[in-house]
Structure formats: C-alpha cells, structure tokens
Structure 1
C-alpha cells in the first residue's frame, strides 16, 4: 500500500499502453470521431471457473466520469467514511454503517448518472449458453459476432437453463454443468486432467432420464457433439495461448466498447491491470471491436489506486456484483435495486428470471440509457 490518499495522486497515473498486436486491425486513422475514454474494472472474475468458484456473478463496470469529478468523489467518500485505508474498495461503501454513502454514490447527486454502466454475468447461465453455442450450434469460440451477441435468456440457452434443474434435480444438474466446465477449462497449469468421457456420460444419463420439450431436444444434440468437443479440446491443448472458450471478461469488455461507441465513435479503454488480458486476448479484442461492429481505438492498463476513475468503476462493479448475487439468493433490497437498475446493461448474460426482475433496467430505463 502507498501512503498517498487514494484518488488524489501526486502526478499523472502510471499507465501502460497496449500496442495493437500483430495480426490485429490498426485502430487509428479510419476517419471515425474520437469517442470517450472508458475507465473499467471488474468484480467476481475467476477466469474460466464458472461453476463451484467463490462467486456466482461476474460484474464488469465502465465509467466516463471526468478526472476532476472522480477525484472530488473520492474526497467526498473519504470525508463521509473516514477509514484510515489508503485505498478505498467497494466493501467500504457496502458496510451497513455507510449505507447512506452508498445511496449517495449511486443516486442522482452522485458522480455516475449518465456516465456509468455495469455488465452482469450469471456464471451458471453463461456455462449453459456456452454448451448451446459450442456443442449444439457449433459456434467458433473466436467468432466475433457471437461474442458481441452475448448470452441471453431468450432462445435455446434460456430454455435449457430453466428446464434443466426442474427436470433433473438441482444437484444432478449442477454436476452436469461442473463437468462441462472441467471439460473446456484448459491451461498450462491444469493440462488435460479431465477427459470428455465424464461429461458425455452425464449427458447420456440425463437424456435417458427423459425430458419433454426443449431441454430434452437439446440434450439429445449434446450427446451427439462428442466429435466437436474433442476437436475443441484438441485445439485448446495444442496452443494454451488460445483465447479460452469459457472466458466471460472479453465478451463483457466487447459489449462495453460497443455500447459506449454506439454513435460511431472510437473508444479508448483504460483498464485496471488484469493478467487475464494477455497479448493474444487483446489481439482478439481488437479484432472483435472493429468497424462496423464496434471500434476500439486503444487499450491502456493502469494501477487502480493511481486513477480515481478506475476506482469508481471498481466501486460500481463490486456493489453490483454483491447485489446481483444477493438477488440470485432471493434477498430483496428495493432501495438498492431502484438505484442500481439504471446502470445495469440490458444485454447482461443473465438467465434467472426472478432475480432479473429486480435488476432489469426495463424498457423506460433502457430508453434513458440510450439517450444519455
């Protein structure tokens, strides 16, 4: 920890420009107007660990708050919270004794209205969406339109997500998702310790248990997808640097670039340092976020504690992740939900209908976000 108060750096933030990697499209010189600088951070990210991890929700937030306003906000938070911590995090605002401060931060008098957005990923639903995309639809995990399309509760993935636990029981269904997670979670540390046999054995058992409707139809298609799964695993094993099939960070980041550049402007992303954003994944992001789909002008990394704007993104991501996780668990908080909804991305990867009813910005709020 540094002794300097958070959000009031002695000099310019320490940044690291990420050059356009070899093979990626050159983002500048295309005639597009310069768009906003988007300052990003996340909460709940566990890489490809979608089932059985510490968190059940991943939140990725971006803010376009000017530097002076962000620094003023950090000073205001320090005056209100009065913690001796050198760097404030979301959990400072989430303590019950600081509830009023969190309400101010999210509310109309805080720094965020019209200048912030958070994309939520319900990890279990994202796993189901990947089953449908990769094994049923045969989508290439590196397919750019698919990454920007995201995972939605409408369509086959939503049907399988909703019917699976009801038809087969929650424990059995969770074991099926965990087996899929193990099947495609491959890196140099883990290697190929899990074969495809276990997953397809479970898929066969569930299908033979019988289920009418969409869940049964989809599981029948999954049973026949062994060649596709073997080919995908072989590709991932052959090159550990390959962009992973189960990663939720790149889709959320691509969605952010698309939203903030929706008027056709090029977006510069300033992100908290994140080891998961390797050179290969950054190259993929540049490729995905290219006109006419979106436009990423540049990506820079900073240390969050040196830039108050990234700290605001950290606060929003942490608050949103905790509230979304509580909503999944059936815990209501009408005041916080009302404040949070305008910031939630309508295209979040979310399947649970009951909790989404609490988080969904709704048609009126979506219109407000679009015109902000």
Structure 2
C-alpha cells in the first residue's frame, strides 16, 4: 500500500477508525499519477437490505474515466448550460422531476455518441432481486458442490441455475411464495441476523415448501439442490458473525461489484486508479479486500474476478472537492432513472435519458440476461 493510501482522515465526511486511511483531498490529475483515474459513485444503495423496499429494485454504479483536472471544465460547462448555482452538481437535486427536461437534454447530449462523456462513461446495473437468487446458489449450492470437487461456477452451471430460478420462479411458485423465498433469504443471510432470529430451520422450511410446490423443471431442480444444503447454511450462519467475519458482506452488492468494475476498466485501459465517493460501506477494511483481489491476493468472496488486473490507487473522496465524482454522480443517477423506468416506475428522467444511457450499460453487470438493450423498454414484473 502506498503513502497516499495512508493519508489521515481528511477530504471526506466520514469520520472514525473505519475511515482513517485511503482518503484523498487533493485533486486527481491526468499527468501526475501513473495510470488512468476512474471516478465511481452509486445510486439506489440499500446495503444488504435488498428486498421489500419500494423504488429500489436496482442499484446503479456510474463510473467515468476522468481525473479532476479534466472533469472541472466539463462540470463548469454543465453548470453554465443548465444555470445551476449550487456548489455541487448533483443528479438528484437538479436533473429529476418534470421541470428539468432542459437540463437532462444537456446531460443526454454529453452521454450520447460524440458527447464529451460518451466513451469514458459506464453504468453497471445490479438487479437486487436477481442478486439474491444468485446468492442462494453461490453461498449454499456452490459451496456444497465445491466440497465434492465439482466446479459449477466456471462451467457456468451456477449462473444458469440462478437464471432459471429467477426467470421461472414466480410462475412456478406463485409470486407470494417466490417473494417469501427472497425475503427469507435476505433475513437469514444479512449481517443484522447476528442474533440468529432467523434460524437455519426457518430458512430451509421456506426452501422445502417452494420445492414441494414448484411446477417447473428448472425451478424444481435448483430447489432440489438447495434443499440438501442445510449443513452449508449452518456453516454460513456460524462463519458470518464470527470475530473475523467477511461473509457478513455476502449480501452487500457494492463490494463485489466494485471489484468487478475495476477489472472491467483495467482490461480496457491497463493500470487504473479509482476514486470512490465517500460511501459508508466503503470502509478501509472493505477497500483492502477489493485491493487484495485486484493485486492477486485473492479472497474467496471474490473468486470470480480474474487475476492480472492493474490497480494503482484505491481511494475515497468527497464530491465537494472532486469534480470527477460529480460527473460519476450524474452517470449513476442517470442509470438509476433509466432502470426505474425499465421497472415500470413513472420517471421523466428515465424517459429523457434512456436512449443515451442504455448503450453505456455494462453487459457484465448483475442482470438476469446478457442484453442491456432490454433496459430500454419498460418490463412487467411478477415480483416486486
């Protein structure tokens, strides 16, 4: 870890020992630091509470490959074109609602092909409900299969199992039971279950009921595998709340998603430096975990990320001091508005921005399909 990641806690609004390192107050520059700077911000974060909250079906992570010295004139251009007086350019404060269409047209032009942000911006979408289903397979079925010497991750069996369960689950089980399967999974696996109010039996009783009532083969097969993982569920509950617990992060999508995003940008640009908005889940410990994987010191939680990723700095900062983070906020906010529109939410911002945003959606994001173009269309949901 280099000297800049050991800076004292300034340049961020987060205080305390969990945020004592990895802070950067000074502007990032294109020439002073080796590698490209990438700014990252999110919209729609709920921690590990992934089910049952309205208007939060998706998490959008916006990234812009840009340093502060490059971002500053773009932010000023936006401020001038939109007549913004606020100290910070924020999507939620200036680009939402029915009256801000002219401002959104400025942003859409910048994000569209030929725009100043087009070829350096990316939107990584996470469908939180699909993420839950993926974790059902990842934490329990894959764990058992691995013990028995079978690799269902790299052979793509795990993903296909999760996609089948997610796509056909509502029809095979009925929306109420499928929703209860998701909500019970969250209640069981979330960090707040440290007091074990939701027991292994509580969790597996719902799995058993779902398996009994399933009417479709893919769902029945996935649940048949899951119902044999009671031992793995017991081990998870024991390990997730111990003194060295990392599995308590299992339902926190922002952590593995950030690791994946680093890999995606590094494969495109080579060495990258990441500046993250000062988000509370991005503690020093969690950033250490992400860096360990990117540098090849692998942790099992991030097994899927390939080695050979070239990560330089991994720091956090405040958007008040970093114009690059203000641009990342605009990209993440635009992505979230478009995702809400896709989920059937009335959203003027999504209507105005989807044509510019959809081509920026990372096909490697955590969606239940490989076609980001589908996000351009509102989609009826069986569960929500």
TM tier, smaller: 0.7 to 0.9
Taking the aligned partners of 1:305 and 1:153, their CA distance within structure 2 comes to 42
Give distance in 1, aligned partners of 2:238 and 2:114.
53
The one of 220, 233, 237 equivalent to 1:233 is 237
How far is the alpha carbon of 1:138 from its aligned partner? Answer: 1.2
8 Å CA contact 1:42–1:317 kept in 2: the answer is yes
Q: How far did residue 348 of structure 1 move? A: 0.9
Give the one of 96, 116, 120 matched to 1:94.
Answer: 96
Q: Is the 8 A contact 1:81 1:98 kept in 2?
A: no
Change (3 A) 1:298 1:18: farther
Cα distance in 2, alignment partners of residues 248 and 344 from structure 1: 17
> Is 1:133 matched up with 2:134?
no
1:353 is displaced (CA, Å) by 8.5
User: Could you tell me how far apart the structure 1 residues matched to 2:175 and 2:223 are?
Assistant: 16
Question: 1:180: Cα distance to partner?
Answer: 0.4
Q: How far off is 1:201 after superposition?
A: 0.8
Instruction: Return the structure number with greater relative CO, CA threshold 8 A, min gap 6.
Output: 1
From the superposition, tell whether residues 59 and 356 of structure 1 become closer, same or farther in structure 2 (CA, over 3 Å): same
Partner of 1:107: 112
Q: Is the 8 A contact 1:328 1:352 kept in 2?
A: no
SS of residue in 1 equivalent to 2:41: strand
Asked if 2 retains the 8 angstrom alpha-carbon contact of 1:344 and 1:359, the reply is: no
Relative to 1, partners in 2 of residues 1:109 and 1:76: Cα closer, same or farther, differing over 3 Å? farther
1:197 Cα deviation from its structure 2 partner: 1.9
The answer for the alignment partner of 2:172 in structure 1 is 167
Residue 82 and residue 300 in structure 1: after superposition, are their counterparts in 2 closer, same or farther (change >3 A)? Answer: same
Deviation at 1:64, TM superposition (A): 1.5
Q: Which residue of 2 aligns with 1:158?
A: 163
Q: How far, CA to CA, are the matches of 2:370 and 2:254 in structure 1?
A: 23
Alpha-carbon distance in structure 2 between the residues aligned to 1:135 and 1:154: 14
How large is the RMSD of aligned CA atoms in angstroms?
A: 3.2
Shift of 1:325: 2.0
Q: Distance in 2 between matches of 1:298 and 1:353?
A: 31
1:101 Cα deviation from its structure 2 partner:
2.6
Against the structure 1 CA distance between its residues 95 and 264, is the aligned structure 2 distance closer, same or farther, given a 3 Å change threshold? closer
1:14 aligns with 2:19: no
| Alpha carbons 2:36, 2:269 under 8 Å: kept | no
The equivalent position to 1:217 in structure 2, one of 197, 201, 221, is 221
- For 2:73 and 2:284, locate their aligned partners in 1 and report how far apart those are by CA, in whole Å: 34
The structural deviation recorded for 1:162 is 0.6
Alignment of 1:165-314 (within 5 A): 165-187=170-192, 191-239=195-243, 241-243=245-247, 244-263=249-268, 265-291=270-296, 292-314=307-329
Any idea what the Cα deviations from partners look like across 1:259-313, whole Å, max 9, x if unmatched?
Answer: 2111572221111112212233222111211253423222111111211110100
- How far the C-alpha of 1:217 sits from its partner, in A, is 0.6
Q: CA deviation at 1:358?
A: 3.0
How far is the alpha carbon of 1:337 from its aligned partner? 2.3
Change (3 A) 1:316 1:123: same
* Residue of structure 1 equivalent to 2:38: 38
Structure 2 unaligned segments of length 5 or more: list them: 1-9, 13-18, 24-32, 297-306, 378-384
Equivalent position SS for 2:195: coil
Cα distance between partner residues in 2 of 1:74 and 1:227: 53
Q: Which moved more, 1:342-351 or 1:108-117?
A: 108-117
Instruction: Give ranges in structure 1 of 5+ residues lacking alignment.
Output: 1-12, 21-32, 361-372
Distance 1:237 1:346 in 2: 34
Change (3 A) 1:276 1:358: closer
Equivalent residue of 2:125, what SS?
strand
Structure 2 CA distance for aligned equivalents of residues 254 and 324 of structure 1 = 22
